[in-house]
Each structure stands twice: as structure tokens, then as C-alpha cells.
Structure 1
Amino acid sequence: MYEHGDMKVGLICLNCDRIAPTLDIYWNYVFECTEDKSIIHLVCPDCKHFGCIENITYMVVEKHEQPKLEKA
């Protein structure tokens, strides 16, 4: 058996280990406005934590069976 797959860019929540594509529409935004700057935080839809989201590159694995050789 051998494996290969496509590399994708996504987000991971370091609190609950949710992995999702970057374009996942379920990530929520929280805006933090101070006197001198505005910050946008991503919020995990599962555990509701913010500030613990990281960008990752991951592989979607496809497994293939190698054909078995028949003995003559």
C-alpha cells in the first residue's frame, strides 16, 4: 500500500485540534478596537477560543492498494 495526496493550506485550533480549510465559512471573527489599532481575531466554532488559531499546511491522503503479483 502506498499513500499520496494533495497539499492544502488550512487553520488549526491549538485548543481543540480542529483542522479546517482556510476558506471554511464557519470560523468567526472578533474585532478588538483600541485607540491606535484594530485587531481581527479568529474564533474556533467548536470551542469558542480565540488567539489560538494557527496557519498550517496539511496533506489529504489517498491510499492505494498495490496489485498483488500472482505466482506462476
Structure 2
Amino acid sequence: MNLLFLNLGTQELIIILPLLVIFVYTLYHATANRNLSSNQRILWIVIILLTNILGWIAYWIIGKNGKAKARQ
């Protein structure tokens, strides 16, 4: 299979599709996570969008539990 208009072959799709699925799921999880405040949620979405794979890893390690609550 070769998608000529994207210049992608099967080998590239094997790499790109799982990364795309992880990216979309990470964004979904960050927006639907009830453990995060609205400000934390916005910050994580920006981090995920701007830093790509490093942002995804940081979210799953640090941010998914929302333990870092804002000081009152």
C-alpha cells in the first residue's frame, strides 16, 4: 500500500498511526480528567500540543493524577 499523495508507505503508517492514536487519547484524557483544575487542564493541553512526545510522556508521568493542586 502506498499513499502517493502523502508520500507515505506501509512502514511509515505503522509508525505514524499508533503515535497519532496516543496523541489523540492523551488530549482526550487531559480534557476529560476530573482530577485537574481548569487552569491545569489548559496548561496540560498547551504542553501536549507544543512539546509533542515529551509533553505526552510528562502528562502521563506527572499530570494525569492532578496531585499538584494549586495553593490556597
TM-score calculated relative to the size of structure 1: 0.23
Of the two, which has the highest radius of gyration?
1
